[in-house]
């Protein structure tokens, strides 16, 4: 679901990943493993590849991507994408994907290791013994049990840290405005409405936020002033979230009893890095993801993501499509194929240009974040109609550039379906709809409305839809016409819409008739006449075909009496 399937694709693995990941890629593509390639050489040769896989050492800048026309996806074998200019990649329609879950356990365990190391002064005690000393009284520590851990950021890693801290019999208070209250309750965590609430209550604070302009330097002098005296800090997330100068001042003053850092604003840190001067600051050289298990998993996961992207499948870890939580993705992911089908279908059946679009979500799906489903519809609306290759990354921006307006409407009530998605627009004939649902545990798409008629038919690769007068013999005419031309119907269905006739009666009376008189009241009719207008019902027929139907066949069928419209649809 990224774009067209890339045949004979070439993948550049510029930094070391697991052999399992490389082997997976080689099952589908030509793979060059060039860990010796410089960034300058990469810029020069970037158009030789359809996909690029990196770790943290390669910097993919806007300048490097400026001349790129072939690259489809950049895979970062790890969690962060700080070394990739995501905005520049997005502008070019390049998917940027990472492997966020691959090192989650490793990072969470390392954060706890830094917490325990500083609480029990393990590195200091180790160095003392290496120097031939036995200083038991010098390295007295503090216990974790019964203390309060403040977790700032409750994503994958933050949640793992919180769960493990609960196992250590700690109380946990966490702050994350993008996590539901139910998620806090399920895990037995106290939900903080503000960062200040965490600062006021926590004995230990661990940071698990992404590095953004908003989070850069967020743990600063002002934040430290609001914390408990003797607080202990852990940052195994991103360098720069904790202001290192402010931390040095807080350690110097005694406000912070100790700190554990795995990430830094500048990596490697300079020899004169101020925090190295403090014995109560435990530091490690960005080891959060450095376990054998995490490294193997990162390579495999990113290989899977790149493969999905190049084979026109959904890239679940793409960072430059609408961010959807794992819970929401589980709920809405099965509807992405249906959404693309509806987008293609409504464009194919339209009589003339379409105006703005409304996407209605009804039933259980209305409870979830449907932005990604809407992007799937927009992608399908634009595919083959703009000169750019359209994918989940650039579809919203292309639509915006063309003034295409798409609105979402949600209703948790649905009369006939557990979940219903309806795409609504207007063509020359008025309102136009295409609606569908999914059935069964595998969520097989099902079309339930076409044109302005209810229908029930499974989507197929080659389809045709006919509008005609609802009179006997019409289905047979279509079957005969297709059969005579060697076109086989796989299956079909008909949606009927019967409109009852009405009549008008005019009567001349000998006397005025009161408004309330509806029955026999002795008022004589002098003479009368009746005007009748019978409106025949119309129907829509959907047929799935073994082969595409030529336009001239559709034209011949529409020329038959009673047929009004015929459209071929390739799904």
For residues 14 and 19, give the distance between their C-alpha atoms in angstroms, rounded to a whole number: 13
Q: Strand 525-533 and strand 357-363: pairing?
A: unpaired
End-to-end CA distance of the chain: 13
Residue among 110, 286, 368, 446 flagged as catalytic? 286
* Run of H or E residues at 545: strand 538-545
Q: Is the peptide bond before 77 cis (omega within 30 degrees of 0)?
A: no
The Cα 423–Cα 542 span in angstroms is 18
Using DSSP, state whether 224 is helix, strand or coil.
helix
Give the contacts of 455 (CB within 8 A, at least 6 positions apart): 447, 448, 449, 493, 494, 495, 540, 542
| Angle of helix 371-382 versus helix 336-349 axis, rounded to 10 | 40
Q: Return the closest-CA partner of residue 91 out of 396, 309, 402.
A: 396
Strand partners, 409: 360
Question: Residue 262 and residue 248: Cα distance in Å, rounded?
Answer: 15
Q: Which of 545, 571, 569, 570 is nearest to 481 (CA)?
A: 545
DSSP 216: T
CA distance 80 to 251: 28
- Backbone angles phi and psi of 477, in degrees to 5: -65, -40
DSSP 274-312: GGGG-TTEEE-SS-TT-SHHHHHHHHHHHHHHHHHHHTT
C-alpha to C-alpha distances, 16 to 13, 25, 35, 111, 290, nearest whole angstrom: 7, 14, 6, 25, 13
Instruction: Clarify whether 286 is annotated catalytic.
Output: yes
Catalytic residue among 41, 143, 267, 484: 267
Q: Do residues 455 and 495 make contact, with C-beta atoms less than 8 angstroms apart?
A: yes
* Alpha carbons 335 and 373: distance in angstroms, whole number: 7
Among candidate residues 238, 344, 368, 538, the one labeled active-site is 238
Task: Return the beta strands (E) in 470-518 as ranges.
Answer: 489-497, 502-509
Q: Is residue 421 a contact partner of residue 434, using CB atoms and an 8 Å limit? A: no
Q: Between 292-310 and 104-120, two packed helices, what is the crossing angle to 10 degrees?
A: 150
Alpha carbons 63 and 176: distance in angstroms, whole number: 35
- Beta-carbon contacts of 26 under 8 Å, excluding residues fewer than 6 positions away, are none
Decide if 238 is catalytic.
yes
CA angle, corner 495, sides to 536 and 345, nearest 5? 120
- Residues labelled as active-site residues: 238, 267, 286
């Amino acid at each position: 679901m990224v774009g067209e399937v890339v045949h004979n694709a070439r993948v550049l693995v510029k930094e070391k990943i697991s052999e399992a990941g490389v082997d997976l890629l080689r099952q589908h593509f030509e793979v060059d493993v060039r860990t010796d390639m410089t960034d300058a050489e990469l810029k020069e040769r970037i158009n030789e590849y359809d996909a690029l896989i990196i770790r943290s050492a390669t910097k993919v800048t806007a300048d490097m991507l400026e001349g790129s026309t072939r690259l489809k996806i950049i895979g970062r074998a790890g969690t962060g994408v700080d070394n990739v200019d995501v905005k520049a990649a997005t502008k070019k329609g390049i998917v940027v994907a990472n492997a966020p879950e691959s090192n989650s356990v490793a990072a969470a365990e390392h954060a706890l290791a830094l917490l325990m190391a500083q609480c029990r002064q393990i590195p200091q005690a180790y160095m003392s013994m290496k120097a031939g000393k036995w200083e038991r009284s010098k390295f007295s520590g503090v216990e974790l049990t019964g203390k309060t851990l403040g977790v700032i950021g409750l994503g994958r890693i933050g949640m793992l840290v919180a769960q493990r801290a609960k196992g250590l019999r700690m109380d946990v208070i966490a702050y994350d405005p993008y996590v539901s209250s139910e998620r806090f309750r399920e895990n037995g965590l106290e939900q903080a409405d503000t960062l200040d609430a965490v600062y006021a209550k926590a004995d230990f604070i661990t940071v698990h936020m992404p590095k953004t302009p908003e989070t850069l330097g967020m743990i600063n002098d002002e934040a430290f002033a609001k914390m408990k005296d003797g607080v202990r800090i852990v940052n195994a997330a991103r360098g720069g979230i904790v202001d290192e100068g402010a931390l040095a001042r807080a350690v110097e003053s005694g406000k912070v009893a100790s700190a554990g850092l795995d990430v830094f604003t500048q990596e490697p840190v300079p020899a004169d890095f101020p925090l190295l001067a403090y014995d109560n600051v435990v530091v490690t050289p960005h080891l959060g993801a450095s376990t054998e298990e995490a490294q193997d998993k990162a390579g495999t996961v990113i290989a899977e993501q790149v493969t999905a992207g190049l084979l026109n499948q959904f890239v679940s870890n793409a960072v430059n499509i609408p961010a959807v939580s794992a819970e929401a993705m589980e709920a809405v992911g099965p509807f992405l194929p249906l959404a693309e089908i509806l987008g293609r279908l409504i464009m194919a059946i339209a009589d003339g240009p379409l105006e703005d679009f409304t996407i209605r979500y009804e039933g259980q799906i209305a409870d979830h974040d449907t932005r990604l489903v809407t992007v799937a519809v927009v992608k399908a609306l634009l595919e083959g109609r703009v000169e750019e290759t359209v994918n989940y990354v650039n579809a919203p921006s292309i639509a915006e550039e063309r003034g295409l307006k798409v609105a979402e409407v949600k209703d948790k009530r649905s009369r006939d379906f557990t979940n219903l998605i309806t795409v609504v627009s207007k063509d020359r004939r008025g309102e136009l709809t295409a609606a569908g649902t999914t059935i069964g545990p595998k969520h097989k798409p099902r079309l339930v409305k076409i044109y302005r008629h209810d229908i029930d038919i499974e989507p197929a690769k080659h389809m045709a839809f006919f509008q005609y007068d609802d009179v006997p013999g019409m289905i047979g005419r279509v079957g005969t016409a297709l059969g005579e031309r060697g076109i086989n119907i796989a299956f079909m269905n008909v949606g009927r819409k019967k409109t009852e006739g009405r009549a008008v009666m005019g009567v001349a009376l000998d006397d005025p008739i009161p408004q309330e008189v509806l029955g026999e009241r002795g008022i004589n009719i002098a003479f009368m006449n009746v005007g009748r207008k019978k409106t025949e019902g119309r129907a829509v027929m959907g047929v799935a075909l073994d082969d595409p139907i030529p336009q001239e066949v559709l034209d011949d069928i529409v020329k038959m009496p009673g047929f009004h419209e015929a459209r071929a649809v390739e799904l």
